[in-house]
Amino acid sequence: DAGVTQSPTHLIKTRGQQVTLRCSPKSGHDTVSWYQQALGQGPQFIFQYYEEEERQRGNFPDRFSGHQFPNYSSELNVNALLLGDSALYLCASSFLSGGNTGELFFGEGSRLTVL
Amino acid sequence: GEDVEQSLFLSVREGDSSVINCTYTDSSSTYLYWYKQEPGAGLQLLTYIFSNMDMKQDQRLTVLLNKKDKHLSLRIADTQTGDSAIYFCAEDWYGGSQGNLIFGKGTKLSVKP
């Protein structure tokens, strides 16, 4: 049973470029949440997708957008990259349709470096 | 406000017990979590506790919840060198969002042989 998988694991971009990160949730899960973890900090919630719609959003600008596909996988897009967007981007999955069991699993993350 | 507080460092000897403490803010939270993060890796879910519980035990891990003081602790019995990592406490801020968590800054646990 595959856990939460993310791709790519590492990538380097330059300021002003755009990036797309991908996440496949754990088998049986239907909800994907995205987090940004800056160096030395705890993760910060970006947004959550359920039933292909953005369900909740944290305090991030509109440059951060996402999408969820019918197979529950998700993408995080960041436009007009800034140096401060350099971070580890984490995806977490859960099963919302089954009620809140508390089970929330994270992937290994995608490390983005903006030069 | 939204703030989860943890001490930043803890050092113990192999075989001792480790206790990592956390204070949280929202008394209506449904779940409180402990995650482990090794260098360069993602977050590993260690355990979680529902807010109407006082204690949860899972092998070497014991979670204690004091709702009155909004204090959560994680005890690791017989700490091993492989337990060296950063430990994050998190609360489910919207009480059942299943994904919108507020994290502390993490406690770096160092285990000396």
CA distance A110 to A27: 20
Chain segment A21-61, per-residue pLDDT in tens: 999 999 999 999 999 999 999 999 999 999 999 999 999 99
- What are the chain A neighbours of B96 within 8 Å (beta carbons)? 100
Q: Which helix (H) or strand (E) holds A33?
A: strand A31-37
Residues, chain B, total? 113
| pLDDT > 60? residue B1 | no
Over residues A82-99, the mean pLDDT reads: 91
| Residues belonging to chain A | 115
Q: How far apart are CA B111 and CA B113, in angstroms?
A: 7
C-beta atoms of B48 and A108 within 8 A: no
Q: How far is A35 from chain B (nearest CA, A)?
A: 9
Tell if the CB–CB gap between A102 and B94 is shorter than 8 Å. no
User: Rounded distance, CA B48 to CA B98, Å?
Assistant: 12
Looking at beta carbons, which residues of chain B come within 8 Å of A111? 40
Side chain identity at residue A30, one-letter code: D
Contacting residues of B for A103, CB less than 8 Å apart: 45, 48
pLDDT in tens, B29-59: 678 999 999 998 899 999 999 888 899 999 9
